[in-house]
Amino acid sequence: MFYGAICMPTKKKTQSLTAAQIFGQKLKAARIAAGMTQAQVAYASGLSIARMSVIEQGETDCRLSSAFALAAAVGVSLSELVSSD
């Protein structure tokens, strides 16, 4: 398991979505709505494509600074990506 400076692995839940999974789903939807690829968002936010992929899949939690960068890259507010609705 990789414990890098940007994101930490999350524990998988089988019953309900984790915060990381909700964030990842919303990030992916925002990225697609913006007409961007994972590579474009990764570059714009300063993350690697591999890290971008695991974030979208909800397999990792992000640092707050990474979450802000990702939101800015896809043109939405951070609150749009973290709200539970």
Q: What is the pLDDT of residue 85?
A: 72
Q: What is the pLDDT of residue 1?
A: 44
What one-letter code names the amino acid at 16?
S
Dist CA 40 CA 50 (whole Å) = 12
Q: Write down the pTM of the prediction.
A: 0.80
pLDDT tens-digit map of 29-71 = 999 999 999 999 999 999 999 999 999 999 999 999 999 999 9
Q: 17-79: what CATH class? A: mainly alpha
Backbone angles phi, psi at 57, to 5 degrees: -80, -5
Q: What is the pLDDT of residue 4?
A: 45
Measured in whole angstroms, how far is the alpha carbon of residue 6 from the centre of its chain?
Answer: 11
Dist CA 50 CA 64 (whole Å) = 18
pLDDT tens-digit map of 5-23 = 455 565 554 578 899 999 9
